[in-house]
């Protein structure tokens, strides 16, 4: 990868040789300024003040001041030339990030655009400035030393070359250790980012020790990398002392010897000026800038110019939603508009999983283990199981948000990772999102063109959004997301998915804030959708009853069949159904105790995998919206 970055960098610079020539031309003015930094004071002393001619001394100091002004003008023009290099680099990187984000639904596109591209541009510009400054400053200073007296060059030159050589020798190993430290830091941050949102599930499954051990190993790896980097950092400081500070000591120690051999006092003062005001600052900037920023630039460029997205715990689905991990801590962002997919001609199932295994981490126990599943086109599948068992993980795999450790996931016969599968499935999560804008704009986010009003109204009527649409003032009404209740936002998201061209719809507890009647209406609308296939993560027994087939997830054990078949033949399903209490009114209640005013939910039913015999409170009292409340955006208060 480093060789490839070097080739691309050389090609980039060759294509902009005119900018490099202009950069070098303006840098010559800085060389002249550096030359006058020591030569003018030396002449002012020797030919002016020490010779009894103060007007000559003042004249040379004036020449030095004029050199500062000319050098400042050159520096200003240098910045413009550097910008002519850095901005095209940024544009090229932005093109790559955007193209990969659109083509592969890369989850790193947002970070690439907002952080990594800017880091690459700023670091590249800084490295150009630092390297150019050291080169031209060194030339100006060395030419000045030789002009004053060649003996001065013999005193200053060897330690300067030795310091630069030592720094150059340590640059590659230092860069490797810097990269190792950055990678270890990123792995630790990624691990903590995955663990922290899932603390409730970790506690529920009793995995605290295993998760802590994984975090400890990453912390130890970062500590080792930091210590190794610090040891090599000592050599960087040594190169700075050798090349920038030792010449000052040598000039002072050798002053009597130099004066005895004809070196003038003014020349000695000029040499000290060259070292202290030119060479030492330039070397200091080079050592610290190139030593740290160089490796950082290489790391960022490796991420930005890679050809394909690496596997990870999060990608982007057809709706553009961004997901990491599972459970209520997931986050979703606004989707782009997918193009209308062409319908397949073969008899491939709408959804097919073959030997799919997935785990959150290379050493973690599989959440889904060797799962085979075929869902024919037009089917209605309900997925049930205790909390934290992997239902949301399954939908994330089908949506392309996660990638299996082994096995394949196909939608309409195509691997879910292929660009052609992007528009064939749409996932609606539990936490539905609504964007600021008109209701029609919200409902048309998954469509490339404006939706005819008649079609929009028909979809709203089928899903159950019509009352809310009428209350808001029609499709052209502006929507304030904060003013909608959780149930109302779910109805908007459901209607949006209904209007999409995606034949496969995944509802990950997307109706949990609706009452049973509203949930039934929405699910029946999706089940009757022409050419559509529905997969529902069920949280009510009535939802499982309505499905053609039910998939029971219980750790490594799974069961598949109709509701009646599973009640007769699956003990885990019978236990799960027993936890779904039915009120005296005959209305089906949620699987979890959403009506409990303390919002304390059982983790797993008795006898099921993950049952630790305890409960977990995952939200403060009084901050949970009541399930099924479509009109009130308030909070659930403690009931007497």
For residues 259 and 225, is the Cβ–Cβ distance under 8 A? Answer: no
Q: What is the mean pLDDT of residues 33-54?
A: 89
Q: 335 lies in a domain?
A: no
What mean pLDDT comes out for the span 56-64? 90
- Of residues 171 and 616, more confidently modeled: 171
**pLDDT score at 103:** 53
User: Is 123 or 602 the better-scoring residue by pLDDT?
Assistant: 123
Dihedral pair phi/psi, residue 319, rounded to 5° = -90, 0
User: Do 288 and 373 reside in the same domain of the chain?
Assistant: no
Question: Is residue 108 within 8 Å of 309, Cβ to Cβ?
Answer: yes
Residues 279-298: what's their mean pLDDT?
75
Q: In this structure, are 431 and 537 located in the same domain?
A: yes
Q: Can you tell me the mean pLDDT for 272-284?
A: 89
pLDDT range class, residue 249, cuts 50, 70, 90: very high
Residues 6+ apart with CB under 8 A from 423: 318, 338, 339, 340, 341, 501, 502
pLDDT at 245 over 70: yes
Q: State the DSSP string of 600-634.
A: EEESS-TTSTT--S-EEE-S-TT-SPPTT-SS--S
Average pLDDT over every residue of 89-112: 63
**Percentage of the chain exceeding pLDDT 90:** 12
Residues 213 and 111 in one domain: yes
Please tell me whether residues 423 and 287 are part of one structural domain: no
Whether 638 is in a domain gets the answer: no
CATH number of the domain to which 218 belongs = 1.20.1560.10
Please check whether residues 567 and 449 belong to one and the same domain: yes
What pLDDT does 190 receive? Answer: 78
| Strand pairing class (478-479; 437-438) | antiparallel
Confidence of residue 535 (pLDDT cuts 50, 70, 90): very high
Cα separations in angstroms, 106 against 58, 100, 186, 423: 65, 6, 18, 15
| pLDDT exceeds cutoff 70 at 246 | yes
Asked if 84 and 147 sit in the same domain, the reply is yes
The verdict on residue 473 lying in a domain is yes
Q: What pLDDT, on a 0 to 100 scale, did the predictor assign at position 538?
A: 82
Q: Report the 10 Å Cβ neighbour count for 381.
A: 22
Q: Which residue has 């002053």 as its token pair?
A: 255
Q: What length is written for the chain?
A: 640
Residue 315 lies in a domain: no
Q: 252 and 364 share a domain?
A: no
For tokens 């009114």, the residue is 585
Residue 16 within any structural domain of the chain: yes
**What Cα–Cα distance (Å) separates residue 582 from each residue in 252, 562, 589, 639?**
94, 20, 6, 21
Q: Decide if 237 contacts 291 (C-beta within 8 A).
A: no
- Choose from 4-13, 467-476, 571-580 the range with maximum mean pLDDT: 467-476
484 shares a domain with 415: yes
Residues 6 or more apart whose CB falls under 8 angstroms from that of 391 comprise 383, 384, 385, 508, 537, 553
d(CA 142, CA 152): 9
**Lowest-confidence range among 59-73, 145-159, 400-414, 567-581?**
567-581
Q: Strand 549-554 vs strand 380-384: parallel, antiparallel, or unpaired?
A: parallel
More confident residue, 305 or 45: 45
Task: Provide, rounded to the nearest whole percent, the portion of the chain with pLDDT above 70.
Answer: 76
Q: Give the number of domains in the chain.
A: 2
Measured N-to-C along each axis, helices 150-195 and 246-253 cross at an angle, to the nearest 10 degrees, of 160
Indicate whether 436 and 525 sit together in one domain: yes
Q: Where are the beta strands (DSSP E) in 202-267?
A: none
Q: Would you say residue 70 has pLDDT above 80?
A: yes
What digits encode the pLDDT tens for the residues 81-91? 888 887 887 77
pLDDT > 60? residue 322: no
- Segments forming the whole domain that contains residue 390: 354-617
297 and 416 fall within a common domain: no
pLDDT the model gives residue 155:
92
Q: Which residue has better confidence, 233 or 609? A: 233
Output 3 or 307, whichever has higher pLDDT.
3
For residues 130 and 259, membership in a common domain is answered with: yes
Domain assignment present for residue 310? The answer is no
460: CATH: 3.40.50.300
Is the residue at 637 inside a domain? no
Residue 577: pLDDT band with limits 50, 70, 90 = confident
Q: Is the overall model pTM greater than 0.75, yes or no?
A: no
Which DSSP category does 598 fall into?
A: T
Q: 90-94, 340-344, 380-384 — which is least confidently predicted?
A: 340-344
Select from 264, 283, 304 the last residue of a domain. 304
Q: For residue 224, tell me if it sits in a domain.
A: yes
Task: Pull the structure tokens for residue 204.
Answer: 């529920």
Return the minimum-mean-pLDDT range out of 1-5, 341-345, 451-455, 514-518: 341-345
- Predicted pLDDT of residue 583: 35
Average pLDDT, the chain: 76
**Would you state the pLDDT for residue 296?**
62
Instruction: Check whether 161 has a pLDDT greater than 50.
Output: yes
If asked whether residues 277 and 369 sit together in one domain, one would say: no
- Residues 474, 484: Cα–Cα separation, whole Å: 15
């Amino acid at each position: 990868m480093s060789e490839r970055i070097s080739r691309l960098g050389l090609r980039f610079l060759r294509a902009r040789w005119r900018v490099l020539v202009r950069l070098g031309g303006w840098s010559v003015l800085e060389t002249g300024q550096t030359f006058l930094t020591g030569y003018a004071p030396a002449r002012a002393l020797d030919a002016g003040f020490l010779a009894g001619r103060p007007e000559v001394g003042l004249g040379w100091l004036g020449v030095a001041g004029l050199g500062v002004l000319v050098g400042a003008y050159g520096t200003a023009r240098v910045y413009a030339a550097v910008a002519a290099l850095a901005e095209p680099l940024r544009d090229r990187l932005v093109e790559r990030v955007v193209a990969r984000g659109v083509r592969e639904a890369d989850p790193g596109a947002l970070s690439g655009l907002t952080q990594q591209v800017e880091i690459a541009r700023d670091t590249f510009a800084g490295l150009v400035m630092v390297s150019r400054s050291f080169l031209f400053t060194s030339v100006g200073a060395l030419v000045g030393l030789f002009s004053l007296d060649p003996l001065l060059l013999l005193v200053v030159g060897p330690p300067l070359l030795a310091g630069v050589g030592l720094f150059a020798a340590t640059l590659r190993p230092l860069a490797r250790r810097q990269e190792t430290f950055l990678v270890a830091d990123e792995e630790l941050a990624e691990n903590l980012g995955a663990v922290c949102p899932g603390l409730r599930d970790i506690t529920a499954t009793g995995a605290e020790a295993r998760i802590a051990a994984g975090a400890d190993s990453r912390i130890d790896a970062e500590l080792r990398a930091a210590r190794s980097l610090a040891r090599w950092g000592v050599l960087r400081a040594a190169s700075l002392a050798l090349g920038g500070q030792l010449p000052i000591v040598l000039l002072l120690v050798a002053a009597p010897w130099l004066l005895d051999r004809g070196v003038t006092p003014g020349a000695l003062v000029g040499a000290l000026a060259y070292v202290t005001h030119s060479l030492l600052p330039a070397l200091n900037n080079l050592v610290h800038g190139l030593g740290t920023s160089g490796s950082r630039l290489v790391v960022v460029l490796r991420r930005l110019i890679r050809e394909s997205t690496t596997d990870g715990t999060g990608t982007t689905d057809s709706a553009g939603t961004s997901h990491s991990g599972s459970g209520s801590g997931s986050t979703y962002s606004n989707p782009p508009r997918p193009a209308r997919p062409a319908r397949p001609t073969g008899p491939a199932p709408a959804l097919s999983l073959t030997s799919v295994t997935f785990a959150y981490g290379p050493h973690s126990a599989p959440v889904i283990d060797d799962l085979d599943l075929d869902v024919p086109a037009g089917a209605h599948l309900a997925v049930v199981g205790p909390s934290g068992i992997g239902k949301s993980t399954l939908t994330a795999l089908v949506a392309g948000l996660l990638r299996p450790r082994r096995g394949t996931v196909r939608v309409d016969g195509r691997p879910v990772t292929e660009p052609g599968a992007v528009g064939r499935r749409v996932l609606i999560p539990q936490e539905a999102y609504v964007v600021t804008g008109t209701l029609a704009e919200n409902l048309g986010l998954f469509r490339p063109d404006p939706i005819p009003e008649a079609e929009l109204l028909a979809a709203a009527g089928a899903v159950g959004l019509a009352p809310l649409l009428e209350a808001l003032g029609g499709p052209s009404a502006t929507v304030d997301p904060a003013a909608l209740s959780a149930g109302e936002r779910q109805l908007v998201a459901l209607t949006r998915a209904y209007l999409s061209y995606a034949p496969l719809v995944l509802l990950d507890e997307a109706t949990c804030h609706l009452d049973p009647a509203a949930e039934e209406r929405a699910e029946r609308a999706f089940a009757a959708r022409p050419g559509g296939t529905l997969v529902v993560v069920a949280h009510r027994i009535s939802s499982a009853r309505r499905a053609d087939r039910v998939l029971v997830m219980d750790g490594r054990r799974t069961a598949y069949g109709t509701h009646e078949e599973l009640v007769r033949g699956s003990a885990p399903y019978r236990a799960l159904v027993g936890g779904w209490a039915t009120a005296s009114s005959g209305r089906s209640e949620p699987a979890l105790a959403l009506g409990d005013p303390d919002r304390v939910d059982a983790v797993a039913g008795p006898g099921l995998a993950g049952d630790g015999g305890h409960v977990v409170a995952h939200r403060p009292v009084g901050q949970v919206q009541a399930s099924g409340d479509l009109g009130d955006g308030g909070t659930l208060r403690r009931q007497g």
